[in-house]
Homo-oligomer: A and B are copies of this chain.
Amino acid sequence: MEDIVIIFKEKPKLKDPILVEGLPGVGNVGKLAAEHLVDQLKAVKFADIYSKYFPPQVLVNDSGTIRLVCNEMYYVKRPEAHNDLIILIGDYQGLTPDGQYELSDKTLKVAKELGVKRIFTLGGYGLGKMIEKPRVLGAATDSELVEEMKKNGVTFSKGEPGSGIVGASGLLLGLGQLYDMRSVCLMGETSGYFVDPKGAQAVLEVLAKILAVKIDFTELESKAEQIDMITSKLRDVEPQHEPKKEDLGYIG
C-alpha cells in the first residue's frame, strides 16, 4: 500500500487559503482548539488521510460502526475575507520520526497544491504546574511575522520553548520553509497533565483575532469547568509531587 493514502471527497477551489493545524499533543491544546474552530466555522471536510505511520487501529462509534484512525482536512470559504481556511485535525500524529516527516511533507504538498502560503500550527507548551491564565507563546519562520504576532498578544520569550517544537506543529513550519511558506506556531501554556480546554481557548482567542473570525467559547469554557472540578478533587486526594522534567518539554 502507499505509505500515506489521501481520499479526497472534493478538491475545493480556495482563495489564498491559510492552513491551521491542530493535532494531538501536550494537553491536547492544539487538537481541542482546531476542532472547536471546525465546529464554530462549520468547516467542510474534503479529505481523509490514512497512513501506515498511524497506529493499526479502528475507533468504534457509539452506534457500533467503526472508522480507521486518520487525519482530516476541512475547508472554510470566507467570501467576506481575504483568505479562505484549511483546517487539519486528526486522531494521531505519526508514530515514528520518519512518519512525522512523511506526513508533514505530504500535508504540505496538498497545501501547496491548494494555494496555501501561510500556516498556523496550534500546540501546547507544557509547564509542569497548574496555571491560572495561560499565555500564548509563539515561534515563526521570519522576524516580520514575529513582530506581527507580538502585536496580536503573542509572547515571544527568549529560551522558551528551550527544547524547540517537536511534532507536526514544528515540522510544518520547518519543512514549510522548503515550500516557501511563512508560518507561525501558537502554543498555549498548559500544565500538560490533563486535556486542557483553557489552553486551547487562549490559543484560539489569539488566532480568532488574527484571522478575524468570531468564535463562541461557551463549549470550551464548560469543558474547562469540568476539568477544573476533576483536578481540584484530585488535588484534595493526591499528595503533591514534582513532575518529571522530560514529560513537559514536548509540544505537539
Contacts and interface: CB of A to CB of B under 8 A. Distances in A.
Most chain B CB within a 10 A radius of its CB, from A53, A62, A63, A105: A63
A29 B165 CA distance: 26
A8 B248 CA distance: 36
Interface in A81-138: 94-95, 97-102, 104-105, 138
Main SS at interface, chain A: mixed
Contacts of A64: 138-140, 143, 146, 156
Interface string A163-190: 0111110110111011000000100000
A209 interface: no
B68 A165 contact: no
Contact of A52 (B51, B63, B95, B102): B102
Interface in A52-75: 52-60, 62-69
Nearest to A7: B178
B97 A177 contact: no
Contacts of A158: 62
A65 B143 contact: yes
A159 interface: yes
A5 interface: yes
A173 B143 contact: no
Given A52-B100, A59-B164, A60-B160, 12 more contacts: A54-B97, A55-B97, A56-B100, A56-B171, A57-B171, A58-B139, A64-B143, A65-B139, A66-B139, A66-B174, A68-B177, A95-B97
